[in-house]
Structure 1
Amino acid sequence: MKNPVGATQCRVALTALLCGTLALTAAGCNRSPSGGEASGGAKIAIVTRDFTNPYWAALRDGAEAEGKKQGVEVTVQAGSSETDSTGENTKISTLAAQDYDCFGVVPVNATNVITPLVPVAKKNIPILNLDTQIDADASKAAGVSYASFIGSDNLSAGQQAGAALMADMGGKGEVAVLQGIAGEQNGINRLKGFTDATQGKLQIVATQPADYDQNLALTVTGDLLRAHPNITGIFAANDTMGLGAAQAVKNAGKTGVVSIISVDGITAALQAVKDGTLSGTISQYPYAEGQMAVQACINLVAKKSVPERVVAPIHLIDKSNVDEAIASFPQPFEPYDNPVTGGK
């Protein structure tokens, strides 16, 4: 006669084994396409400057869209303005006290985010430096390190802007430059690239910060046009300043006389290029940058390697290709290499 107790034990053991196998199979099937944690298994926090600037809003949108696609939780927060380092730091400190697995941070300046990131670093949570370089020496002294830098080549953006402005100006003339926030590294790199490309060809008669702000750029440009009436070109270190400059040029009755090149590729700038009030913009595709930040975090949480530096795509948008750019916005309208995923 068979032992009913033993048979029951066998059935229980077999059921447990099958359930365990099914659970493992389900977990394997539920992994994200990039090989990251299981769906919902990674929590990613990204903090940027402010969402009133369409550039940072696009970075947020790209990160959130990629999080939804990959099945991971993505939280994106920001300060209240381009210069709100205090507000940004408060956001980082609040998120650092929560259970996030990876952080991405766009600083206001080279050092402001280091202190609130110290608790994150102490917990060995991977941190991505996004878009604007954080001071390496100050970070090291504080015990903060970064798994990767993901951002555009701003030196190249400045060089491309210089070449485009020279072409539009016929290779000569007086130029004014609108910088971003004084001392901010992206603006410094863009100005250097622009200066390198135009040295000995265009005459830079004025360089003035306008804090990446459209209204301030409108005021500053109006003053510059009155002080230097022979200006025939303006380089603005971002699109919001470029749009402010375009309005000042229009107010002065010089639309079509003064060429304007800016940087970022936001929607309003693309439309301004189409309308002829901007000569061109160097698009930096922040939407793609946000996507790559999430992809990198997923890989880091899964203990996969990520390149130490990931260069986001940039491209000159002018009359020749603005319709394509508008049609594909916010995505780049041309294929680009993605070092994070190893594909296009």
Structure 2
Amino acid sequence: MARRLAIGVLTLCLATTTACTKTKSGSDDAGDKSGPVKIGLVTKTDTNPYFVKLRESAKAAAEAKGATVIAVAGKFDGDNEGQVAAIENLVQQGVKGILITPSNSTGILGALKQAKEKGILVIALDTETDPKDAVDATYATNNTTAGELEGKYVKATLGQTAPRLLMMDGSPGGTVDEQRHRGFLQGMGLKDGDPAILGAAPTNGDQNKAQSAMENLLQRDSSVNAVYTLNEPAARGAVAALTAKGLAGKVAVGSIDGGCQGVADVKAGKYLATVMQFPRKMAEQGIDAVVAFSKDGTKPNGFQDTGAQLITDKPLPGLDSKDTTWGAQNCWG
């Protein structure tokens, strides 16, 4: 009877191979070729025009390659817990790759590690993780360079006048925030703690928070002649506070982003210059990498600089810049 049972099982195996193979799970499900490649996109927020453009570009690039994007975001810039939950959810949905702009460059590491252990390709866009090799690759602006371009321009604008600086920083724990801050000071020839820095405040890259922060700093010292801003929403908030204080046009304000509204702000003279980023390029290169990985397992690696360009209508010697006409033709948002 045992011999007859064994023969019966063997016959069943020959008739249907699925009855005698192990069920694949985890990352293997994500690599199923029967449907479109699923790619997760986790941004810091879903309202900032920069991340809106990143999401739109990613979806368009994925559609062109027959893939699909599942886009999620934190509730606010700095929402690490929201991003962790989003990653866990994307893993459960069987994505082949995750593109992420980390709100907290260290707080997200555990979730990214778990995704990679499932065989999911993980790529950082816009913002590096700390350490950098927590992801397979990064496609981003060199944010230290972007900050340095802003700092050099503001310094050149001041000429021989000693700077009296206020700094509109981003979110604590973010590599973008730290790199731009450090790059700006390098461009200015300053270091943290220098007496030329009258004050600094976190703004989370938010216009309203930046306006409130600038108002508070101006109450303590209104002798400012230079302002660093992390991004263009922070610049608009800072300029609103300066205007209310009667300081508009008297303070050298620079920024970083290169959104269409930011370019228009520069053209209108609200701030002197901005440094343009290229989120479309980041998104397209990230999508291309995941699609290639899904086909043959090819993994990108290292940091890929997607470029930065100073935009101003008041060019200064020694600094490569483009005017706002060029900016309007190449902006995002």
TM-score range relative to shorter protein: 0.7 to 0.9
Note if contact 1:154-1:193 (Cα within 8 Å) is conserved in structure 2.
yes
CA distance in 2, matches of 1:118, 1:200: 37
Shift of 1:132: 1.8
Q: Does 1:189 align with 2:179?
A: yes
Indicate how the Cα distance of structure 1 residues 200 and 84 shifts in structure 2: closer, same or farther if over 3 A, else same: closer
Aligned to 1:25: none
CA distance in 2, matches of 1:169, 1:75: 46
- 1:146 aligns with one of 135, 144, 150: 135
Q: Does 1:306 align with 2:300?
A: yes
Note if contact 2:50-2:332 (Cα within 8 Å) is conserved in structure 1.
no
For structure 2, list consecutive stretches of 5 or more residues without a partner in the other structure.
1-31, 314-321
Aligned to 1:102: 97
SS at match of 1:231: coil
Shift of 1:96: 0.7
CA distance in 2, matches of 1:270, 1:330: 10
Q: TM-score, normalised by structure 2?
A: 0.80
CA distance in 2, matches of 1:233, 1:39: 57
CA distance in 1, matches of 2:35, 2:228: 44
Aligned to 2:79: 84
Aligned to 2:206: 213
The superposition leaves residues 79-125 of structure 1 with CA deviations (integer Å, 9 ceiling, x where unpaired) of 11102222222111111101211111221112222233344222212
Note if contact 1:39-1:72 (Cα within 8 Å) is conserved in structure 2.
no
Indicate how the Cα distance of structure 1 residues 97 and 200 shifts in structure 2: closer, same or farther if over 3 A, else same: closer
Tell me the amino acid that sits aligned with residue 236 of structure 1.
T
SS at match of 2:44: strand
Tell me the amino acid that sits aligned with residue 101 of structure 2.
V
Q: Does 1:174 align with 2:164?
A: yes
CA distance in 2, matches of 1:77, 1:146: 18
Aligned to 2:328: 326
Aligned to 1:47: 42
Tell me the amino acid that sits aligned with residue 110 of structure 1.
S
The superposition leaves residues 7-34 of structure 1 with CA deviations (integer Å, 9 ceiling, x where unpaired) of xxxxxxxxxxxxxxxxxxxxxxxxxxxx
Shift of 1:134: 1.8
Q: TM-score, normalised by structure 1?
A: 0.78
Shift of 1:171: 4.4
Q: Does 1:256 align with 2:249?
A: yes
CA distance in 2, matches of 1:232, 1:311: 32
Tell me the amino acid that sits aligned with residue 264 of structure 1.
D
Shift of 1:275: 0.7
SS at match of 2:70: strand
- 2:151 aligns with one of 158, 162, 167: 162
- 2:288 aligns with one of 289, 295, 306: 295
Shift of 1:170: 2.5
Tell me the amino acid that sits aligned with residue 187 of structure 2.
A
Deviates more, 1:112-121 or 1:210-219: 112-121
CA distance in 2, matches of 1:191, 1:120: 31
The superposition leaves residues 274-296 of structure 1 with CA deviations (integer Å, 9 ceiling, x where unpaired) of 11101111111222211111112
Deviates more, 1:39-48 or 1:69-78: 39-48
Aligned to 2:120: 125
Shift of 1:330: 2.4
Matches within 5 A, 1:193-272: 193-199=183-189, 203-272=196-265
Tell me the amino acid that sits aligned with residue 87 of structure 1.
G
CA distance in 1, matches of 2:206, 2:36: 39
SS at match of 1:127: strand
SS at match of 2:225: strand
Tell me the amino acid that sits aligned with residue 174 of structure 1.
R
Tell me the amino acid that sits aligned with residue 126 of structure 1.
L
Note if contact 1:40-1:73 (Cα within 8 Å) is conserved in structure 2.
no
Aligned residue pairs total 289
- 1:111 aligns with one of 101, 106, 115: 106
Aligned to 1:28: none
Shift of 1:70: 2.0
For structure 1, list consecutive stretches of 5 or more residues without a partner in the other structure.
1-36, 140-144, 332-344
CA distance in 2, matches of 1:227, 1:119: 47
SS at match of 1:268: helix
The superposition leaves residues 120-163 of structure 1 with CA deviations (integer Å, 9 ceiling, x where unpaired) of 222212111222222239x8xxxxx5221111111101110111
Shift of 1:252: 1.3
SS at match of 1:181: coil
Determine what percentage of the aligned residue pairs are the same residue: 25
Indicate how the Cα distance of structure 1 residues 116 and 251 shifts in structure 2: closer, same or farther if over 3 A, else same: same
